[in-house]
Structure formats: C-alpha cells, structure tokens
C-alpha cells in the first residue's frame, strides 16, 4: 500500500487543475482583484526568484530565497493561490484550501527532504538545521555564494506558472465586468 507521502506527491498537480472549476464560482470586484492580484503577484515573484537559484539534481540550493526557507517555490505557490481566492472573493474556501494545502504539501516536502538527505547528506542536515521548512526566517542563513540566473528560470519552466497566473487574472478581470 502506498504511503500518503507518495499519494500526495502524485495527486497534488492534477488536483490543482480541479481549481479551474472554482473559477465558475468566483465573483471578483475591482477591489478584490487589486488585493488578490498583488498577493498572487508577490507569490509569482517568490517563485521566479527561487527558480533562478535552483539547479535541480545538480546542487543543493541554499542562496537567495533558499537562505530563508527550504521551500520557496511552494511558498510562492501558496501566495499565488491565496491571491486568486481573494481576487475571486472565495473567502469561504480560504481555510479549507489552507488545510488541504498543508495535508498535501507537508508530506511532499518531507519526502523531498528524504531525497535531499540521500543526495547531499550532512550538507542538507546542516542546511535544514539553519533554515525553516516553509515559513521564512527574515534573517537569511549563511549560504554558499550563488547568484540569480535567468537561464535557470527558463530551464525550470517557471514561465508556465506566470502564464497560468496571467490567464487566471485576465479571466477574473473580464468576469468582474461581465458577471
């Protein structure tokens, strides 16, 4: 029987696509679009920042946002989703969403930590001891010298998330004019 960690890892992306159905229930206002849009854009910037530092499978990312949280991509996704819920005025779904997010992503983060432990051993243990799992420390931990690289953003296909966010926000803007 599969563990919840492996199930969560397999269903998290397909389940997020179910969120498109929620668009039918969204009724944005100009104010909710501005507030939610700013929150979602903040999440998008976190994701872009993180994608410019992570070279998956080649080195342990510890610089940039990874000096403040071990999972900035997931943190950025959380802000993006919360922003969309707020933009669409689905306030009643915020708490269930956060509970579902934790139920899915905490096990995924734990499973990924096991993979990083196997790949990077003591380096990962030391890093995990200095940097929180998700919610950032605003005093960055010391990290190896590294710099942001747009080539990594492209290689990590972060543009897909930005296009999806732009389409969602465009839909909500149109919806606000034509309820």
By the 8 A CB rule, do 68 and 136 touch?
yes
Residue labelled with tokens 């998330």: 161
pTM: 0.89
pLDDT at 39: 98
By the 8 A CB rule, do 75 and 139 touch?
no
Q: Give the separation between CA 112 and CA 101, rounded to whole angstroms.
A: 16
What is the distance in angstroms between the CA of the first residue and the CA of the last residue of the chain? Answer: 46
If DSSP codes are grouped into helix, strand and coil, which group holds residue 148? coil
Provide the residue-wise pLDDT of the chain in tens; the chain has 179 residues: 678 877 877 777 777 777 778 888 899 999 999 999 999 999 999 999 999 999 887 889 999 999 999 999 999 999 999 999 999 999 999 999 999 999 999 999 999 999 999 999 999 999 999 999 999 988 877 766 778 888 898 998 998 989 989 999 999 999 898 87
By the 8 A CB rule, do 81 and 20 touch?
no
pLDDT at 4: 81
Instruction: Give, in order, the Cα–Cα distances in Å from 23 to each of 14, 97, 129.
Output: 16, 14, 40
């Amino acid at each position: 029987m599969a563990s919840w960690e492996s199930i969560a890892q397999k269903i998290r992306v397909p389940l997020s696509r179910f969120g498109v159905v929620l668009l039918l229930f969204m009724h944005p206002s100009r104010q909710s679009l501005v507030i939610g849009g700013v929150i979602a854009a903040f999440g998008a910037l976190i994701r872009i920042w993180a994608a410019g530092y992570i070279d998956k499978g080649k080195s342990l990312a510890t610089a940039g946002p990874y000096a403040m949280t071990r999972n900035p991509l997931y943190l950025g996704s959380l802000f993006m989703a919360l922003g969309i819920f707020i933009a669409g005025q689905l306030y009643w779904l915020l708490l269930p969403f956060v509970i579902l997010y934790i139920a899915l992503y905490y096990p995924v983060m734990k499973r990924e930590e096991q993979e990083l432990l196997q790949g990077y051993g003591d380096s990962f243990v030391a890093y995990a001891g200095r940097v929180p799992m998700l919610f950032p420390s605003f005093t960055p931990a010391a990290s190896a010298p590294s710099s942001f690289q747009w080539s990594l953003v492209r290689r990590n296909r972060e543009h897909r998330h930005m296009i999806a966010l732009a389409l969602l926000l465009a839909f909500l803007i149109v919806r606000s004019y034509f309820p």
